[in-house]
Amino acid sequence: MTLLLGPPGCGKTTLLQALSGKLNPSLKVTGEISYNGYKFTEFVPQNTSAYISQYDLHISEMTVRETLDFSARCQGIGDRADMLKEISRREKQSGIVPEPDIDTFMKAISVEGLKGTLQTDYILKILGLDICADTIVGDAMNRGISGGQKRRLTTGEMIIGPNKALFMDEISTGLDSSTTFQIVTCLQQLTHITEATLLVSLLQPAPETFDLFDDIILMAEGKIVYQGPRSSVQEFFEHCGFRCPERKGVADFLQELLSEKDQAQYWYRKDQPHSFVSVDNFIVAFKKFHAAQKLNEELCTPFNRRESHKSALSFNMYSMGKWELLKTCMAREWLLMKRNSFVHIFKSSQLVVIALMTMTIFIRTRMKLDLVHASYYLGSLFYALIRLMTTGITELALTVSRLSVFYKQRDFYFYPAWAYSIPAAILKIPFSLMDAFLWTALTYYVIGYSPEPERFFRLLFLLFLVHQMAISLFRLIASVVRDPPFAANFSLFTLLVIFLFSGFIIPRPLLPAWVKWGFWLSPLAYSEIGVAVNEFLAPRWQQVSSSNATLGQQVLEKRGLNFSDYYYWISVGALIGFWMIFNIGFTFALSLLKPPGSSRAIISHERFFYLKAKEDLSDTALQKELPSVDSLTERKVKGMVLPFKPITISFKDVQYFVDTPKKLREQGYPQRLQLLQDITGAFRPGVLTALMGVSGAGKTTLMDVLSGRKTGGYIEGDIRIGGYPKVQETYARISAYCEQTDIHTPMITVEESVMYSARLRLPTEINKHKRLEFVAEVLQMIELDEIKDALVGIPHVSGISPEQRKRLTIAVELVSNPSIIFMDEPTSGLDARAAAIVMRVVKNIVNTKRTIVCTIHQPSIDIFESFDELILMKRGGQMIYSGELGQHSSRLIEYFEGIPGVPKIKENHNPATWMLEVTSPPVEAQLGIDFACIYKESHLYKRNKEIVKSQSLPAQGSEKLQFSTPFPQNGWEQLKACLWKQHLSYWRSPKYNLVRLAFIILSSLLYGVLLRQKGQHLCSSVLPFVSTQRTIIYRERFSRMYSSWHIRWHR
């Protein structure tokens, strides 16, 4: 099991994708990769290996268990069945009786095609997902599992399969160090017992997690600095003159060692002056090291293919047969249809309401059988076609929302495109039939169409085909265009063309001769022919007039629809043809189009030319050294102090409840679930507090409750700010909240994001010049100054990397100069060096007497011991420790080691990891104790209550915090700032603007040519663009940056 280490942007993800066969085909690749002596072209690497992405892409409507079950079915059982037969044969020969539990498990996971397997329960238990197995994954608009649980689900989705070559990209992001240790321990056993090959990249592995790995690959600047046994890595760097200090994680030491800013502190040859050792110099030294020479010997010895087991590699693209694949995808599509039943029910209800309105407008008592009222009949029929056509537009958003997950699963060879498109087409048939029936049944006899039953069913069948054709058309547009705003514009233009050439708005004889062919390309034209022929060739329209033509024929001739009765069946055939063409096109689009690009770490032009100069061996560029982090933070912290008032938060007996979901209530759960229980404590100025606990303990929930971010549920207890009861509007002005998810406007730069926050959140007393200086200082402190002109971009698609996005989140909040700062996992997704930078900045801010609280998952020893106090929580939302850490965490260790039965901490063990391990539910159950009860009987609890009591009273001479205005800036400044940001967002979306402009120009030309002096205003194309900024507006509104009125006005 090999650990891949390196700073963001060094090429870890690219290497993992290259080794797993998932690299973008457009990239130029040289060199050779082989599995067991087989080259990539000789087998299917994508189905042999599993790549676990750092991005969590899942269908939000599916539960955790359903996601894993689907993945298990698609990946198959591999060689488990053959292996079980061989084991059984050898057991019989040797007279061995297998252990019943193991035998049952082996047999259960070796049966192919099961909807749910024991393997799923096993993976759920290993990854700690059993507590949320029946919870939907969720997304920004639907509450689901937490970020850490999504990360584990992404891991479980791939390791549940039979693949024995696993490439894992940053699987620990959002997980606490104890959970990471447990998962990596299981992976180590999987590697050693089944002889699997694992390459795992981690950003901040704890020392005990680091020690589980056999080998290390250290990368920098796209090059491998060290590859060899973990036990030899310190020996190599000591040979180069660098030594890892005591109480320092080796992984952190290795990553910081490659940085110009931090290397000097690890130089141990004090008799010699230190000069920076570059990456290239390390590589030269490594080539002479014994581990490198042994590696070269292994690579020079070709692998004997005969030693490779026949089942080790996959030579088939898919793990199941075509029928099984279709059944699996069909079952998932049906499940999603049921989960989205509200959409379909609402759509059908809407259709019923409109049908009732249509009935009253075209009611039969007002309609006569003459040429004048014939136009009314024809108009009502055309309106029916329009309604059924436009009802299918909801398919556009549904398809676009699932494309990212489809591309991931397609590229992992879960299933082919046709296995996705066929169920999508077939399972919409019942809904099309229901919508067509509802409309026809409600309107047909009330409007007074021809009363023959066969004509009723012919109209019903035609409307059903129109709905099916429309759904297929919008599905095709979504799969080809993919960008939501672009797709919305394209759909509107397509509808416009189809309507104009349908033969009703402009009768066929009135179309200009040079565009008459457009009539025969419009699906709605065939529908119009079908409904017109079905109605006006009925017996009641056969009255002969003075011109020897029947009334029905006169109506049809007037509209250019004078076709024979058999043209109804031609129309049916044409609609079926369009349906087939659109679905085949949808399948080809899914098969052939590449997924959109993903975001990568961005570097400045200066940094790029610096690295380029290094490659060209330019001495002048090599002499240009960057300042150290310590000097940078020390130099800039002096300018960080703007006027503010130190504030204390105290909270007593805080409880938080949410309504129990209906399914759980049916299983006997109470009406309300309690997520926080009797939380009492205080956060004081100048004291850096860590809020820790295993995943799901309620850390983020507590921060949300204290900061006023919880809009649902029931909050009880006393929360005070500076001794006065908390008033949310005032509190939002003096506090900042760095969310776990990094929400930013995509189309503005890093500097503009920080500038926008400063412009709206700093008080009016701070002039523009001072504000600009302050923004520059914050950017430099968080080390974003080098990429300040880079666009933020859309997560996973474009712009800055996740690590840079996390630092921007912190900068946007710091620039508001708050008295209280809540940080939800500020170091999650950062490498050890970036995490150290962030924590140094945070420590410097605390020294200015601000109140800072951080939830933190995987702190290194250095980061953990930079905190002053700790609040530790366990599952169920209960506190089990609240107090000082002490030097080298002495007070924390003393408290827990004083509890009978708790194992002592090992030497050089990370106290944070040890603390989470010894307080985990299994240890608690094993010892038969309740840490929450022990805490309530301890001296810490009494001391905590005394602090809360003293902080719950206002200081003598203090005044209640209040502001004369509800927002830092007046209405005019708010409007200007919002307009400035929105202007930049639109101006930097040329694709969106050009598409809208092209749509208007082409629409105008069509109207000008075909309709003459008619106009139309279309606004629905702006909806997808605005929806991308909805979560950003929620974050900014909570921070009291502007009034909701100004959002409406500037839009």
In this prediction, residues 861-875 reach a mean pLDDT of 88
683-725 residue pLDDT tens = 989 899 999 888 778 888 888 888 888 777 888 999 998 888 8
In angstroms, the CA 638 to CA 885 distance is 27
Return all residues near 968 (Cβ < 8 A) that are at least 6 apart.
Answer: 733, 760, 761, 762, 763, 764, 1040, 1041
Report how far residue 898's alpha carbon sits from residue 773's, in angstroms, rounded to the nearest whole number.
51
- What gap in Å lies between CA 837 and CA 830, rounded to an integer? 10
Higher pLDDT residue, 243 or 247?
A: 243
Residue 177 tokens, joined: 């160090």
C-beta of residue 1028 within 8 angstroms of C-beta of residue 746: yes
Other residues' Cβ atoms within 10 Å of the Cβ of residue 135: 17
Structure tokens at 420: 């996705």
DSSP assignment letter at 4: E
Q: Which of 837, 375, 927 is nearest to 630 (CA)?
A: 837
Secondary structure letter of residue 560 according to DSSP: T
Residue ranges of alpha helices (H) inside 708-859 are 728-734, 750-761, 768-781, 802-814, 832-846
Distance of CA 81 to the CA centre of its chain: 36
Of 444-458, 776-790, 925-939, minimum mean pLDDT range: 776-790
pLDDT digits 0-9 by tens, 746-777 = 888 999 999 998 888 888 888 888 888 888 88
Cβ neighbours for 363, distance < 8 A, ≥ 6 positions apart: 446, 447, 448
Neighbours of 157 (CB within 10 A): 28
The DSSP secondary structure of 344-403, one letter per residue, reads: HHHHHHHHHHHHHHHHHHT-GGG--SSHHHHHHHHHHHHHHHHHHHHHTTHHHHHHHHHH
Mean pLDDT over each residue of the chain, to the nearest integer: 83
Rounded to the nearest 10 degrees, the angle between the axes of helix 118-126 and helix 100-108 is: 110
Residues 587-610: what's their mean pLDDT? 70
Measure the CA–CA gap between 356 and 358, rounded to whole angstroms.
5
Q: Please write down the HEC assignment for all residues of 862-874.
A: HHHCCCCEEEEEE
Residue 628: pLDDT band (50, 70, 90) is very low
As given in the structure block, the two tokens for residue 632 are 């940078």
Q: How open is the CA angle 46-50-56, to the nearest 5 degrees?
A: 115
Collapsing DSSP to helix, strand or coil, 217 comes out as strand
User: What's the CA gap between 525 and 504, in Å, rounded?
Assistant: 8
Cβ pair 633, 844 in contact under 8 A: yes
Assigned token pair, 872: 């530790």
Contacts with 162 (C-beta within 8 Å, 6 or more apart), sequence order = 75, 76, 77, 78, 79, 80, 319
| Tokens of residue 1027, six digits | 């929806």
Are the beta carbons of 481 and 487 closer than 8 angstroms?
yes
Q: What CA–CA distance (Å, rounded) separates 12 from 20?
A: 12
What's the token pair of residue 771? Answer: 């504000």
Tokens standing for 495? 């509808």
Distance CA 941, CA 139 (A): 38
Tokens of 9: 């942007």
Q: What is the pLDDT of residue 607?
A: 56
Check if the beta carbon of residue 114 is closer than 8 Å to that of residue 73: yes
Which helix (H) or strand (E) segment holds residue 37: the answer is: none
Cα(743)–Cα(727) distance, rounded to whole angstroms? 25
* pLDDT computed for residue 221 by the predictor: 86
The pLDDT tens digits for 971-998 are 888 888 888 888 888 888 888 788 888 8
pLDDT for the residue 612: 58
pLDDT at 634: 43
Q: What is the pLDDT of residue 110?
A: 62
Give pLDDT, residue 568: 93
Helix or strand (DSSP H, E) at 77? none
Structure tokens of 920? 């985990």
Asked if pLDDT for residue 61 goes beyond 50, the answer is yes
What is the residue type of 997?
L
Lowest mean pLDDT among 313-327, 426-440, 453-467, 950-964: 950-964
For residue 484, the surrounding DSSP H or E stretch is helix 484-500
Residue with tokens 């960008």: 483
* C-alpha span between 146 and 520 (Å, rounded): 53
The residues, ordered by sequence, that sit 6+ positions from 703 with a Cβ below 8 Å of its Cβ are: 691, 709, 737, 822, 824, 853, 855
Q: Which residues pair with 884 in a beta bridge?
A: 869
Contact indicator for 803, 771 with CB cutoff of 8 Å: no
At 98, the amino acid letter reads P
Q: Evaluate whether 79 touches 162 at the Cβ level (below 8 Å).
A: yes
Q: Which amino acid is at 882?
A: S
Alpha helices in 32-128 (DSSP H): 45-48, 64-75, 80-94, 100-108, 118-126
pLDDT at residue 115 is higher than 80: no
Burial (CB count <10 Å: 0-12, 13-18, 19+), residue 504: buried
Own/partner pairs for 625-634, CB < 8 Å, 24+ apart? 625/260, 625/276, 626/260, 626/261, 627/261, 628/261, 628/262, 628/264, 629/261, 629/262, 629/783, 629/836, 629/837, 629/840, 630/840, 632/261, 632/780, 632/781, 632/783, 633/781, 633/837, 633/840, 633/841, 633/844
What one-letter code names the amino acid at 591? S
Task: Report the candidate in 81, 48, 250 with the shortest Cα–Cα distance to residue 164.
Answer: 48
Query: What interhelical angle do 147-159 and 118-126 show, nearest 10?
Result: 140
The answer, yes or no, to whether residue 858 has pLDDT greater than 90, is no
Q: Tell me how long the chain is.
A: 1051
SS3 string, 1017-1046, reads CCCHHHHHHHHCCHHHHHHHHHCCCCCHHH
pTM reported for the whole predicted model: 0.76
Q: Note whether 599 and 802 are within 8 A (CB).
A: yes
Rounded CA separation 408/758 (Å):
39
| CA dihedral of 545, 550, 555, 558, whole degrees rounded to 10 | -80
Instruction: Decide which of 695 and 50 is more confident.
Output: 50
Q: Say how far apart CA 706 and CA 701 lie, in whole Å.
A: 9
Domains of the chain: 2-76+113-304 (3.40.50.300), 340-592 (no CATH), 630-951 (3.40.50.300), 971-1050 (no CATH)
Query: In which region does residue 972 sit, left (phi positive, over 0), alpha (psi from -120 to 50) or beta (all else)?
Result: alpha
Mean pLDDT over 108-120 rounds to 64
User: Residue 882: helix, strand or coil by DSSP?
Assistant: strand
pLDDT digits (tens, 9 = 90+) for 562-573: 888 899 999 999
**Joined tokens for residue 329:** 């995808």
Distance of CA 33 to the CA centre of its chain: 31
Query: For the residues 345-362, what does the mean pLDDT come to?
Result: 91
**Segment among 82-96, 269-283, 317-331, 858-872 with least mean pLDDT:** 82-96
- Counting residues of the chain whose pLDDT is more than 70, the rounded percentage is 88
Structural element, H or E, at residue 883:
strand 878-884
Of the given ranges (9-13, 142-146, 193-197), which has the lowest mean pLDDT? 142-146
